[in-house]
A and B are shown apart, each in its own frame.
With several copies, the nearest count.
Chain A
Amino acid sequence: MRWELTSDQQFFRETTARFLEDQVPVATLRALRDDPLGAPPDYWRRGAELGWTSLLVGERLGGGSISDAGLVDLTLVAHEFGRHAAPGPLTTANVAVAALAAAGDAHAAAVAAVVAGESVVSWAYGEPIPHDGFGTVTLEVRDDGDSVVVAGVKRPVEAATQADAFLVTGRSGDGLTQVLVPADAVGVAITPLTTVDLTRRCGTVSFADVRLPASAVVGEMGGAAEQVEHQVRLASVLCAAETTGAMQRAFEMTVEWAFERYSFGRPLASYQALKHRFADMKMWLEASHAASDAAADAVAEGAVDAAARASAAKAYTGDQGSELAHECVQLHGGIGVTFEHDLHLFLRRITLNRSLYGTPADHRQRLAALLIAREEAA
């Protein structure tokens, strides 16, 4: 998170932080382990009232931002989500509603419901093996006169059993098309997956020739590639910000432990081999803050290096977040691998964010392509 916030941003961040501390303390998170929704009743709607779902939506459609850049404001929420390992489809719902809002007034009602927290729309992007290469889209969207037909499988889909509708990214010939598909449409089948996170749930959603009115298309038929690319960047920025928050919390817990835990009559914090590892972790942590803030700025501004900065933040926090979380476990010793201890809440969140919307290795391939293109053009 950046050093300097405006007082409005500071208030906004603190409001969310207090809400999360109050509503989803760690004891509540543990209790939600087997809850189908993974969140307390009314939690998401009340979060929406705090602004969680409106920051990427323009004012005309009921949204609005704290600063000039709604995405930057949203990363403050994401950061607190990471720090608290908070439940809720923050990334997927915001990416989906941003896409709906970008399509103008066509989906204004759906946008309003999401902004109000009355409905959850989840972005259905990734596909199952062997089509799980990052960016691969094989789900078919067919134009059939007044209707469109959606056929294929998406996986993993966040909040699959909780969502009221899915923003489905599909292929129409050479182009990409996005369709808003109600979860209860005929031909939609949802099966839950076991997910590493304690409260965020994923599932497989299959679409067996689901037929919808043509108005279900979001944007232009076959013309969604640019919008989908923007969604990838948004998701990358939000995952990076959330992971950084989780890293921050895990690191703080571990520093505290190192001062309190004595071994051979000395605190762990006095052992140089451990001190040097803490120094590396501190570097990873500050670099993660810097990378995810820079990515948020670049994507918010539409900077020329926005794609590269988003992928660098996603790749860096994915790799270094995992390393940091594993180091924190190691430095805690046995207690660090128990369910009883809080540390795994953050390890889980980091692991989930690392895996969704492109792994670090996937984003490295993207980065290489971007750099090669830049150099070839230079």
Chain B
Amino acid sequence: MSAVDETTETAAESVEELGARARAFIRANLRPLGRGGHRDFARSVVPDDEEIASVTRAREIQRMLWDHDLAGVCVPREYGGLGLTPAHQQALNEELAGYEFPYHLQTPTMSPCMAVLLDFGTHEQKLRHVPAILKGEEIWIQFLSEPSGGSDVAGALTTAVRDGDEWILNGSKVWSTGAWWSDWALCLARTNWDVPKHRGLTVFMFPIDQAEIEIQRIEMLNGNKEFCQEFMTDLRVPDTDRIGEVDQGWTVGIGWMFHERMAMAHNEPVITWPPVGGHGIYGAGLLVDAARQAARLDDPLARDLIGRGYTTALVGDPLQRRLGEGIAGGHLSDQAASIGRLYGWEVMKAMLTIPFELAGATGAAWDDDDGALYGTGHAYMVRQAIAIAGGTIEMARNVISERVLGMPREQSFDREVPFRDVPRGPTS
């Protein structure tokens, strides 16, 4: 499965040419990242006005990429992309090392949302949304997880009922990133309760800014309010905004999961993201920043931790490339994307844990003058979010053992029975 048009004409531009063009653009237009003092969702609470400002900046950068023919490197030309190869995208990514990039528009907008649209949308649906996304005009989110659902996204309780040319949606979704500053949503809903769970789902898309959608922001333990919960009450969606067939939404859902895992693994050709081995927001360089701030650059124990983190990061990029190539070349099933998702957690765990370990007591108590050690305790405490959001690591391990290695499936009590009869708790 791939969001990339395999039939694209031979690339007019070489990888090196694109890289050179990207380098020139970046140096002329983008701001280099500062050293130390990384403030991100994990370490600190970003005030709303700053958050809005960075979303606005991300839209600007995306528009500049569009204007300079650097947006949608792997997206087919008919939908506004360049129709080039993953290697071209990688050349752009590598040039971005150390520079700002349109962080807020990558995941979930480019993938899984746009990737799902490219795989399953109609020609008209793609024409309407893909160029808008590539210009930075539409930011998308996923209406996927539900409060009761945990790892079982196919167990969606959000219900869509047909009413003429429209559908009426009711239910609640959760863990969408930044719903309050996003434009469109991709939503998995139940359209049939009388069949087993995978056979009664349908996918819809709709604008978020509607009276029938109430957005509540979820406060994470570190005070961050990036994630939201949404409540849909009699939300009407035209049938033309349905993606895929009625009750066949799990076909779309499987592709959706695939792209989500690839995105979590930073292994999606439609995503623009600098390599993690480099410096930058989650690059290994931040470990050196932390050790320097802790005055431990010469401490063998600190160096051991830096070496561990750098190893983890350095292995990440080639692994994701190997998985991508293995899937594209038919050496691996699509499901192997879960390996990348699991490894993505290894990298982030190292990046969120090691600075805390380097910080000593400053990891528990800090102030504004602590530079790269600011908020390392928050980052450490919230780190499991990365092992949960975007599909838990437990689900990834299930998928790897069952779908990649072919081991027997876990016993389940929801596969053969109508969804309304599935046990949902100790008393049911």
* A interface residues (Cβ-Cβ under 8 A, vs B): 2-4, 126, 128-130, 132, 134, 155-156, 191-197, 202-204, 255, 258-267, 269-276, 278-280, 282-283, 286-287, 289-291, 293-294, 305, 308-309, 311-313, 315-316, 326, 329-330, 333-334, 336-341, 344, 347-348, 351-352, 354-356, 359, 361-372, 374-375, 378
Contact = CB atoms under 8 A, between A and B. Distances in A.
Contact of B397 (A260, A273, A315, A366): A273
Given A3-B322, A347-B221, A378 B310 contact: no
Interface of B: 35, 98, 145, 150-152, 155, 174-175, 218-221, 223, 277, 279, 284-285, 287-289, 291, 293-295, 297, 300-304, 306-308, 310-311, 314-315, 317-319, 321-323, 325-326, 329, 331, 336, 338-339, 342-343, 346, 357, 360-367, 373, 375, 377-378, 380-385, 387-389, 392-394, 396-398, 400-402, 404-405, 407-408, 410-414, 422-426
B424 A262 contact: yes
Contacts of A204: 367
A contact patch SS: helix
A305 B393 CA distance: 30
A155 B317 CA distance: 36
Contact of B329 (A4, A260, A274, A312): A4
Contact of A287 (B151, B343, B363, B397): B343
A367 B304 CA distance: 9
A347 B219 CA distance: 16
A371 B98 contact: no
A282 B400 contact: yes
A125 to B, nearest CB: 10
A191 to B, nearest CB: 7
A286 B410 CA distance: 24
B364 A202 contact: yes
A362 B358 CA distance: 11
Most chain B beta-carbon contacts within 10 A, residue among A192, A272, A374: A272
Contact of A371 (B35, B220, B310, B346): B310
A196 B356 CA distance: 12
Contact of B322 (A193, A289, A316, A337): A289
B388 A3 contact: no
Contact of B311 (A259, A279, A316, A374): A316
Contact of A262 (B218, B291, B293, B423): B423
Given A132-B361, A337-B221, A291 B318 contact: yes
A344 B377 CA distance: 12
Contacts of B361: 126, 132, 155-156, 355-356, 359
Contact of A308 (B98, B155, B175, B314): B314
Nearest to B392: A333
B131 to A, nearest CB: 33
Contact of B367 (A194, A260, A362): A194
A334 B377 contact: no
Given A260-B425, A365-B303, A372-B288, A337 B385 contact: yes
Nearest to B368: A194
A258 B402 CA distance: 13
Contacts of A374: 285
Contacts of B400: 278-279, 282-283
A282 B174 contact: no
A322 to B, nearest CB: 8
Contact of B384 (A194, A276, A287, A326): A326
